[in-house]
Structure 1
Amino acid sequence: MTAFSKLTRPAMRALKPGASINEHGIVYTKLANGDGRWTVNVMVARARHHQVVGLESEGYTRTQAEEVVAKLKAQKRAAAHGVAGSKQVAPRSVKAAAEDYLEYLEKHDGKDIATKRMRFKEHLTPHLGILSVARLTSDDWLAYVTIRKGEGAGPATINRERSALLHMLNTMRRRRMLAVVPELPRQKEPKGKLVYLTPEEAAALLKAAAEDQSEHAHPFVMIALYTGARHEAILGLRVRDVDPGRRILWIDKDKAGEREQPIPEVLAKYLVKLTARRGPDEFLFASKRAADGRLYQISSIFARCVERAKLTKHVTPHTMRHTMATNAAHAGLDAATIQEMGGWKTRAMAERYTHAASMQVAMSALQERLEPKKARRVTPKLHGKARKSDKTP
């Protein structure tokens, strides 16, 4: 039952499971497990809008619910007048907006343009292209999600497409071409199994890469294992990006932006030999067949090395990133250091590895406690003596 009352902390704490408080369309519901759920249920432009905002345990508060209501009202006002903004640009479709957005990224040194272009061309534009970008709603996005799931796309794939669309909409807002950005619910992704290589497996992969016919196999595996850098960033390295004296690589374009990548001494010495007698503008992974002279994908070469190394795990170039972080965690490095080494945007990503390492240390300590080295045992010899004494009169 929903009570129309003030959303005060004492009133919220006093709620029984299943009961709710509704104040001006913002609803707080006490769930059976003790958690609280925030939703909005408001009339905007003579239309009822109901939307789940999030759970209290996930950090959602009344503030986020109020922001949703404010965005809904601003979005409806913008929809009534086309694309709102100081520039008063004529209404345009998602397809036209995407073309302008990608062109804008090209002119302003945008990141990951090729991937964004692919996501718009193959998925977002075919399904959303004819819609007005100013009238795009969360319902339109949920309909898109349903279609993509029907096509076999998983939550992670859909979330990456969502990121591309959101980046376009937020870019338009910054350029004052769009008044508001709609809420696009994110898909919940299942936690994947953390796959990494043991030292023995890493050594086998390096040996297989050294024996591969491609000159790029061994350098790629070396850099990936010792830095954990994303494979797109590795393939984009030039000779001038290598600073063996300071033991760093300069990552120019990466998901986390420009940054300095620390490297160990063994890799620094390796790269000195690799870059000897090569010009500063040369790519480390050059390709004569590519238009701009660099390699863009190494999946087939890497898969060949994995097969030759006889690795039974599902190993991809990204597995090298997990391997670096796991090894760093087992070496005792904290999450902040691992985050900086790997270029993660949030601490939570790095903490996943330190948590796994600490759990292994805890299990080893538990085993040592339960099975001390000098544990008392009954030996077969003692049993033999006991049986002999039974026959003695």
Structure 2
Amino acid sequence: MSAFLKLVRPRMRALAAGESLSERGITYTRLANGDGRWSVNVMVNRRRHHQVVGLESEGYTRTQAEALVASLRATKRASAHGVAGSRHNAAQTVSQAADEYLQYLAGHDGRDLDTKARRFRDHLKPHLGQKQVARLTDDDWLAYVAKRKAEGASPATINRERSALLHMLNTMRRRKLLAAVPVLARQAEPEGKLVYLTPEESQRLLDAALVDQSPLAHPFVMVTLFTGLRHSAALNLRAGDVDADRRILWIREDKAGRREQPMPQILADYLAELVSGMEPEAFIFASPRAKSGRAYQMNAIFARCVKRAGIAKHCTPHTMRHTAATNAAHAGLDAATIQTMGGWKTRAMAERYTHAASMRDAMDALQGRLTSRPVTPELPRPVSKPA
């Protein structure tokens, strides 16, 4: 590279306040207080980067400005073919990368494959499939968010799709297939009300499920009520996954991965009788009409039982997960135990149940404190003076 002709000491010293010199995307500006400011203004990957490097009084020189420009252009060279190494010669589209990503997960014990595949197939590929995965930007993601909102998708749904996309990009980066991953802004989700069933409502739901026309209704309510299993994890249970002696369910497929799920004695006895005589690989929630051999979902059956039980709350199969965790918290279990029991990824997700239980105990204690001593039934009234 040839030497700089403009950004040299004699010319920089001759600048008056407010004057600047620019060369090769680097600008030196003389400020009103006599200090000098270094900044860069370059086009990289069809995007303009305008950034202040620092002040001369802080020790910044042309060297730091040159280093920043070199770094930005190096990122451009890496993203031109989409990889950090040499394992791919041509840039991949998001659609091509998704196919390879899902195949990779299938061969490496990936989690929640069906859900990830559905999100890519139904939403991410149709909208982003033709984009080059290495040139995916935050602006591309914002355009995707706008389209999904126009289709009626909620912020929570879009965030789940974002998680699938980010997991793919981060997996590619770990495998040295991608140089960098964009941020992809997360959508703000409204605070949801924690809905759970009281013990009395739970018993009514069990009674309603027992007389439902579907033979799967009662086992499903029993399993989810006494374990807090996720909807899909419960439906994937097979007869051989039940260890009634140890009071353990072996969970093969779940959002939290493979794990052992503890269960109380009442459910262990119930399932031991239910799977008696069944083949180990037989689904507990079998459905002859389903291609997979087991029920795909229980929403309609569950809603019918909720209605028959006379429960007015908005109650879905996931409500049983909240119910199990809330009851565990009221029984005195700590957040760490509840997290292990329910397979939550973080402690914070389990602490919201213990927090709710603690607040209820606190309010009971406050009521007991305030009502344990005599309380004047009527507030004192001021005595009116005669006119």
Q: Same fold (TM over 0.5)?
A: yes
For the 8 Å contact 1:286–1:293, the answer to whether it is kept is: yes
Which is further off, 94-103 or 150-159? 94-103
How far the C-alpha of 1:116 sits from its partner, in A, is 1.5
Q: Is the 8 A contact 2:80 2:134 kept in 1?
A: no
Answer yes or no: is the 8 Å Cα contact 1:44–1:76 preserved in 2: no
The answer (yes or no) to whether the contact 2:81–2:90 under 8 Å persists in 1 is no
Q: CA deviation at 1:359?
A: 0.6
- Opposite residue 238 of structure 1, the aligned amino acid is R
Report if aligned partners of 1:248, 1:260 keep a CA contact under 8 Å in 2.
yes
1:172 paired to 2:172 = yes
Alignment pair present for 1:375 and 2:341: no
Q: Is the 8 A contact 2:243 2:249 kept in 1?
A: yes
- 5+ residue gaps, structure 1, are 1-40, 52-68, 380-393
Corresponding residue for 1:14?
A: none
- Report the alpha carbon displacement of residue 151 of structure 1 after superposing the two structures with TM: 2.1
Return the alpha-carbon distance in structure 1 between the equivalents of residues 310 and 70 of structure 2. 57
Give unmatched runs, 5+ long, in structure 2: 1-38, 52-68, 379-387
Q: Which residue of 1 aligns with 2:270?
A: 270
Residue of structure 2 equivalent to 1:141: 141
1:74, distance to aligned residue in structure 2 (A): 6.5
Contact residue 71 and residue 182 of structure 1 kept, 8 A: no
Between the aligned residues of both structures, percent identity stands at 67
Deviation at 1:291, TM superposition (A): 2.2
* Kept after mapping to 2: 8 A contact 1:74/1:179: no
Once the 2 structures are TM-superposed, how far is the Cα of residue 108 of structure 1 from its aligned partner? 3.6
- Per the normalisation by structure 1, the TM-score is 0.76
Counting matched residue pairs gives 321
**Equivalent-residue separation in structure 1 for 2:205 and 2:318 (angstroms):** 14
1:105–1:113 Cα contact (<8 Å) kept: yes
Question: Aligned to 1:229, what secondary structure does the other structure show?
Answer: coil
- Which deviates more, 347-356 or 107-116? 107-116
Do the aligned partners of residues 72 and 229 (structure 1) sit closer, same or farther apart at CA in structure 2, a change above 3 Å counting?
farther
- Asked if residue 306 in structure 1 is aligned to residue 268 in structure 2, the reply is no
The equivalences for 1:210-221 within 5 A come to 210-221=210-221
Distance 1:291 1:152, change over 3 A: closer
Pairs within 5 Å for 1:12-31: none
Alpha-carbon deviations, 1:212-269, whole Å to 9, x = none?
0111100000010000010100100111111111111111111111111110111111
Amino acid at match of 1:256: A
Q: Deviations over 1:168-193 (max 9, x none)?
A: 11222233222222211212222200
CA–CA distance in 2 between the matches of 1:368 and 1:43?
68
User: 2: CA distance between counterparts of 1:258 and 1:45?
Assistant: 48
Q: Distance in 2 between matches of 1:125 and 1:48?
A: 28
> In the aligned structure 1, how far is the partner of 2:318 from the partner of 2:174?
33
Q: Secondary structure at the match of 2:279?
A: coil
* Counterpart contact for 2:325–2:353, Cα < 8 Å: yes
SS of the counterpart of 1:131?
coil
C-alpha distance in 2 between matches for 1:341 and 1:183:
33
**In structure 1, distance between residues paired with 2:242 and 2:155:** 37
In 1, the alpha carbon distance for the partners of 2:236 and 2:77 equals 45
User: How far apart are residue 145 of structure 1 and its match?
Assistant: 1.4
CA 1:273–1:369: 2 relative to 1, 3 Å: same
Q: Which residue of 2 aligns with 1:318?
A: 318
1-structure distance, mates of 2:305, 2:71: 51
Q: Distance in 1 between matches of 2:172 and 2:149?
A: 28
Cα distance in 1 for partners of 2:303, 2:344 equals: 25
Aligned to 1:26: none
1:282 aligned onto 2:251: no
Check conservation: 2:82, 2:179, Cα contact below 8 A: no
Residues 1-393 of structure 1 mapped to structure 2, 5 A cutoff: 45-46=43-44, 47-49=47-49, 75-372=75-372, 375-376=374-375
Q: For residues 368 and 44 of structure 1, do their structure 2 counterparts lie closer, same or farther at Cα, with a shift above 3 Å needed?
A: farther
SS of 1:320's equivalent in the other structure is helix
8 Å contact kept, 1:78–1:84: yes
In structure 2, what is the Cα distance between the partners aligned to 1:257 and 1:317?
A: 20
Q: Which moved more, 1:315-324 or 1:359-368?
A: 359-368
Indicate how the Cα distance of structure 1 residues 345 and 376 shifts in structure 2: closer, same or farther if over 3 A, else same.
Answer: closer
1:89 Cα deviation from its structure 2 partner = 3.3
Pairwise CA distance, 1:377? 5.1
RMSD: 2.4
Q: 1:246 to 1:82 in 2, by over 3 A?
A: closer
Q: 1:85 to 1:363 in 2, by over 3 A?
A: same
Gap change, CA 1:334 and 1:135, over 3 Å in 2: same
Q: 1:222 to 1:378 in 2, by over 3 A?
A: closer
Structure of larger gyration radius: 2
CA deviation map 1:99-118 (0-9, x unaligned): 22223333444322222222
1:70 & 1:268 partners in 2: Cα distance? 65
The residue that corresponds to 2:3 in the other structure is: none
Distance 2:264 2:352 in 1: 23
Structure 1 contact 74–180 (Cα < 8 Å) conserved: no
The 3 A distance-change label for structure 1 pair 49 and 232 is: farther
Offset of 1:295 from its aligned partner?
1.5
SS of alignment partner, residue 127 of structure 1: helix
* Alignment partner, residue 7 of structure 2: none
Distance 1:257 1:82, change over 3 A: closer
Q: Hey, what's the Cα distance between the residues in 1 that align with 2:247 and 2:50?
A: 55
Aligned to 1:29: none
Cross-structure match for 2:383:
none
